Amino acid sequence: MTIRRTLIAATIAALALGASLQASAQTILKAADVHPAGYPNVVAMENLGKKLEAATNGRYKLQMFPGGVLGSEKEMIEQAQVGALQIARISLGPMGPIVPDVNVFNMPFVFRDEAHMRAVIDGPIGKELLDKITASTAKLVALGWMDSGSRSMYTKNPIKTPADLKGQKIRVMGNPMFVETMNAMGGNGISMGHNDTFSALQTGVVDGAENNPPTFFASNQYTAGPKYYSETTHLIIPEIFVMSKITWDKMSKEDQAALMKVSREAQMEQRALWDKSVSEYVSKLKAYGIQFITLDKKPFYDATAPIRAKYGAQFAELIKRIEATK
């Protein structure tokens, strides 16, 4: 009996040790987004984590931190660069000063419409820019693109022409090009983090902001004073999700390949979720009383010509390829 008990105890101990070793072999990947839980980008990233965990037999498990709890996009980039954060979904705005090549997508009216943008990022140009991010000194590995629709202005007063923007302080992302773009359109561009925009609108620090309808709603900024959504669609900027190169370099080739596969799937899944969310959020905004203004975009396009001339000179050949993409 004593021998049997000893054997049972030894077996239990061995199983416990095996489970402990298995648990210790699992790597937790912290992923972050400034958007809240349930947002298309967050949902797509959570599903990416589930697929990666299955594909690597549990070697990697993703832990999602939505709602900006780990800081602004700029702060998330900095955390990823030192390996404190493993995956971040970020806008191209904050990436422009770090990897200048992506600024071609940050220029106003560089895409004809969202379908044109998708054709570009799904093709060779999109892959080339992701590769440039990875090859840069940013210490990041670009995993894929995500949609963020068209950015337009939401304000307390109606905006129909550039003249209506005179004296209006409008929040923009942290990139000098966006400040200059807003100034060129007639407003006063104020660079500010996403998480600070609600209080700035509420307290009158800014008179408006610019973003897509899902973000306008999901961030609750529609309750902070804006009454109008003027559809300038002056920016159509895809977003990216990146991994810390420190983490990437520790992965096996097999696991790297698995991550790239599920990342491509996440890109397509997020797009479907995005399209569904846009119509839903527009309906919710209208139900709340937000007035959508359809306007003549040409005056805004013409006003931003100096921005395209200034920043586009270095991307002349690339812009020709973008324009030629069908």
Give yes or no for residue 11 having a pLDDT over 90: no
What's residue 52's pLDDT? 98
267 HSE (CA, 13 A, CB side):
21
pLDDT at position 64 is: 98
Domains of the chain: 22-148+239-280 (3.40.190.170), 151-236+282-324 (3.40.190.170)
Residue scoring higher pLDDT (99 or 23): 99
> What's the confidence (pLDDT) of residue 5?
46
Q: Which two tokens stand for residue 226?
A: 């804006």
CA–CA distances in Å: residue 6 to residues 12, 15, 187: 10, 14, 79
Residue type, 182: M
Q: Which pLDDT value is given to residue 16?
A: 39
Average pLDDT over residues 88-99: 88
pLDDT-based confidence at residue 179 (cuts at 50, 70, 90): very high
Lowest pLDDT segment from 20-24, 107-111, 237-241, 287-291: 20-24
Q: Determine the Cα–Cα distance for residues 88 and 239; give it in Å rounded to an integer.
A: 11
Q: Give the mean model confidence (pLDDT) for residues 27-33.
A: 98
Query: What are the pLDDT digits (tens) for 54-76?
Result: 999 999 999 999 999 999 999 99
Q: How far apart are CA 236 and CA 109, in angstroms?
A: 7
Could you tell me what percent of the chain has a pLDDT over 90?
87
Give the model confidence (pLDDT) of 257-286 as tens digits: 999 999 999 999 999 999 999 999 999 999
Q: Does the pLDDT at position 187 exceed 80? A: yes
Instruction: Please state the pTM of the whole predicted model.
Output: 0.85
